[in-house]
Amino acid sequence: MGELKVYLSEDLKKEFKKRSMETFGYGRGSISRAAEEAIQRWTSERETLMREFPPPEEDPVRMLRGMLKHVEESSVELQHEAKKIRAERVRI
């Protein structure tokens, strides 16, 4: 078995330790057992998500290049227009 160092917020750490010991007992290894179960579940969920929604094969930035070449305004002009639209929405 390997070692893995993880930093958690104090509240999460206390809650995890409490639930680990309630579930697996107050003996040695209960926190490790709970952590292994949690990490296994997390990696399994991620594997399922990756199968359902695979990452693009091509570089996402490269995929976007040229998509706005038909737009007449410059990027600065578009930013100013977007700022005006957001300001109007806030007033409503």
pLDDT of residue 92: 66
| pLDDT at residue 75 in the model | 86
Q: Is there a contact between 87 and 80 (Cβ–Cβ < 8 Å)?
A: no
Cβ-in-10-Å burial (0-12, 13-18, 19+) of 86 comes to: exposed
Structure-model confidence comparison of residues 2 and 77, the more confident one:
77
The span from the CA of 37 to the CA of 19, in Å, is: 13
Residue 23 confidence (pLDDT) above 90: yes
Residue 10 Cα distances to 15, 19, 67, angstroms: 9, 14, 46
Query: Residue 36 pLDDT more than 90?
Result: yes
